Each structure stands twice: as C-alpha cells, then as structure tokens.
C-alpha cells in the first residue's frame, strides 16, 4: 500500500519544470506469521522500462521482539571495481595493479573474507557490458573456491590492467555497475559474487566523466537498494576520478590529467556512510587509496538495524550477556548505533530487546 507520495500520480520525472526525483513510502503488511516478501514495481511509459524494489519482512503477532546480531570474526566484503579501459588509462591501471599487494596483506591481517571482481566502463562491447573480467570471475580468499593470496594478487593485477582499447565514445561506469549487479548477469555469468551478509563496495576508477544515460538519483537509489535503504553501513561506494570542480592534472596520465568526475562523486557521496568517498585519480601513487579502503572496509560494524519498528523507550541492549548503555537509537534507520571508536569486538554477540510499534 502506498502511504505517501510527494507528488500527484502519474509522475513525470526530469525535464523542464519537473523534479529529478520523487519520494514515496509504502506499507507492507504480512497476512500471516512467518517470513514474507513482496515488491514495488515502477513502470515507465518507455517500452520495456521498469524498476523493481524488493520488500522483505516477517509477520508476527508478538508485541515484543528480540534481535540477535553477531559481530563477524572475519569481516566479509564484496568488492566490485569498475575500471575505465579507454585509451588514456594505461598509467592509472598500472598504478592500481602495482599497489594491490599491500591491500591484500592488510586484508589478511584483519582476517577478512573477500569476494573481488572487476568490470569495465564499456557498456557497448558484448564481452564487457557489466560482465566480470577474467576466469574465475570472482576472486575469493575463503571457502571451497578460495585461491592463495599470491594468486589473487596476480589475477587482480591482470584484471586491473584491462588495456586501453575499449569503447571511448560512452564511458558509462555507473551503468556498467548497474548491469553487473542485476539480472541477468548477477544470476548468470556474475553469480557467486554478492552475499546477503557481506558489506558491498563498488569502486569507480575513471579519468572521464560518467556518460550513463539515467540521471544521478536513479543510480543512488539503485546502489542503495542492493543492501536496503536502511542498511547504510553495509554499502560503500567510492570514486577515484578527476576532482569535482575542474578535474585534475598529472604527469602520470598519458593525456596529462583527468576530467571532472562529478557524477561518480555525487553517487559515492550519497551511498557512502564515511567522510572519505573520493580520491583523486591524479595521485602519484594509489597506495594511500588502498590504505583508506582497508581502514573503512574492514572496520568492525557499529550500526545494527532492528528487524521491526521499535519503541525507543523500551530498548535494552546486551553485549556478550552484559548490559550495555554506550549506544544511541537512530529513529530514521531504526538501528542501534555504537560509537565508531568503540564498536562491539570481533565475535561479540549483541542482543537487543524491545517492544514493537504496530504500523
């Protein structure tokens, strides 16, 4: 049931005199106890154009809820690199490959559980267009398909240096990421990458502005929907590109610099809970970028989203069986938030009791 729309229906988005986005709210009521699912289908007048927002929930008649969370012993992160492979990118690709070994070594020190994949900004070539590059398509350091660290480093270096012969007429990284993470690819040739309980990071590397057709709000909504709009701590998007105002200059680029990457930066800013979401592609070395990524991606979780709407006055939190009062309740995201500098330790069990609010 649609409970709120900030415009009259039907809605025209974009263009002269029209807003670039519209906010709406829905209420999804289960008809029985147990797990339930549904979806919101947004259809366009354009033939075949539609956007599906999945809904998941659990029906219950119980007025009290207890949620249990476990802080991972091994941080789980799915990392998708979307790399520009046009003619001016050879030095940047080499820079990316040269500094990857330190990133893997840091991941090992954190006992991180990684899935790593690479696609290009080229959406025209049939062997690109959102497809993960290389075989295996997903590099894993744990589980039955795990690879030795030295092999992951070697294979990523090969993938990072995609070459410079891709289509330079439409360098559409935002759309390439969209294609990579949606059906049919994510259920087909790109399968095995996304995990429900893993943090997702999408990293764009380009010396040109994004040339995808849809407007920025579409991509913000899409990337945030992958982990759920409220699970802000489970998604991190980064832009490694030219500065927002005017681009940047460097002797390391075969073209002498990079154009402004405003679209990449705006999507990254909206989809990243960290203050650091942009790094200049004109940096002499990408080593500091990898240091920043490791610090953000492998850090312990400090935000835990509750499964049902909570009455804030009734919330009680225990960490490893001991009452804990060093937290805040965030009403907008319906979550318990611990101080970033003092999250529950690795392997901790967090139990949250509360009375629920019936919608």
DSSP letter string, 250-319: -TTSTTSEE-B-HHHHHHHHHH-SSS--EEETT-S-SHHHHHHHHHHHSSPP-EEE-SS-B-GGG-EEEE
- Going by pLDDT thresholds of 50, 70 and 90, the confidence category of residue 359 is low
pLDDT of residue 163: 78
Task: Calculate mean pLDDT across residues 138-166.
Answer: 91
Tokens encoding 240 = 């490694």
Q: What mean pLDDT do residues 35-44 have?
A: 85
The pLDDT assigned to 251 comes to 60
In the predicted structure, residue 230 carries a pLDDT above the cut 70? no
- Judged against a pLDDT cut of 60, whether residue 252 lies above it is answered with no
For the ranges 39-53, 78-92, 224-238, the one whose mean pLDDT is highest: 78-92
Instruction: Give percent above pLDDT 90 in the chain.
Output: 52
Mean pLDDT of all residues in the chain? Answer: 88
Judged against a pLDDT cut of 70, whether residue 254 lies above it is answered with no
46 CB-near residues (< 8 Å, 6+ apart)? none
Q: Is the pLDDT of residue 54 over 90?
A: no
Q: For residues 122-148, give the mean pLDDT.
A: 93
Residue 179: pLDDT over 80:
yes
Bridge partners of residue 318, in order along the sequence:
323, 351
Mean pLDDT, residues 247-274 taken together: 83
The mean pLDDT value for 202-224 works out to: 93
The answer on pLDDT for 271 being more than 60 is: yes
Q: What is the mean pLDDT of residues 112-135?
A: 94
What pLDDT does residue 4 have?
82
* pLDDT at position 211: 94
Strands in 328-330's sheet, in edge-to-edge order, are: 303-305, 335-337, 328-330
Residues 6+ apart with CB under 8 A from 304: 67, 69, 335, 336, 337, 350, 352
pLDDT at 245: 87
pTM above 0.85, yes or no: no
β-bridge mates for residue 76, sequence order: 113
Higher pLDDT, 153 or 40: 153
Over residues 251-273, the mean pLDDT reads 82
- At 253, the pLDDT band (50, 70, 90 cuts) reads very low
pLDDT 10s digits, 295-351: 888 877 788 888 888 999 999 999 999 999 999 999 887 889 998 788 898 889 999
Mean pLDDT, residues 274-280 taken together: 90
Structure confidence at residue 227 (pLDDT):
86
């Amino acid at each position: 049931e649609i409970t709120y729309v900030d415009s009259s229906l039907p809605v025209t988005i974009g263009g002269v005199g029209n807003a670039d986005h519209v906010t709406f709210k829905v209420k999804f009521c289960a008809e029985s106890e147990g797990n339930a699912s549904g979806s919101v289908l947004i259809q366009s007048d354009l033939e075949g154009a539609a956007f599906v927002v999945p809904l998941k929930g659990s029906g219950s008649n119980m007025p009290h809820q207890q949620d249990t969370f476990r802080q991972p012993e091994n941080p789980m992160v799915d990392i998708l690199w979307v790399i520009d492979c046009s003619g001016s990118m050879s030095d940047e690709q080499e820079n990316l490959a040269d500094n990857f070994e330190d990133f893997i070594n840091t991941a090992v020190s954190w006992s991180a559980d990684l899935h790593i994949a690479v696609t290009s900004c080229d959406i025209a070539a049939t062997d690109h267009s959102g497809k993960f590059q290389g075989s295996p398509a997903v590099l894993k350091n744990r589980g039955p398909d795990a690879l030795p660290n030295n092999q992951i480093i070697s294979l990523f270096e090969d993938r990072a240096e995609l070459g410079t012969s891709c289509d330079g007429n439409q360098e559409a990284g935002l759309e390439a990421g969209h294609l990579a993470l949606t059906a049919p690819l994510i259920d087909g040739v790109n399968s095995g990458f996304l995990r429900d309980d893993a943090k997702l990071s999408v990293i764009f590397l380009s010396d040109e502005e994004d040339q995808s057709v849809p407007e920025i709000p579409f991509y913000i909504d899409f990337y945030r929907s992958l982990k759920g709009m409220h699970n802000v701590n489970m998604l991190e998007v980064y832009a490694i590109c030219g500065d927002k105002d005017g681009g940047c200059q460097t002797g390391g680029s075969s073209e002498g610099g990079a154009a402004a990457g405003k679209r990449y930066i705006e999507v990254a800013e909206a989809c990243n809970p960290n203050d650091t979401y942009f790094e200049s592609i004109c940096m002499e070395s990408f080593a500091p970028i990898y240091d920043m990524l490791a610090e953000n991606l492998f850090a312990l979780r400090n935000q835990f989203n509750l499964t049902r709407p909570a009455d804030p006055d009734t919330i009680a939190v225990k960490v490893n069986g001991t009452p804990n009062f060093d937290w805040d309740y965030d009403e907008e995201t319906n979550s318990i938030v611990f101080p970033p500098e003092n999250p529950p330790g690795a392997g901790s069990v967090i139990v949250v009791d509360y009375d629920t609010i019936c919608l």
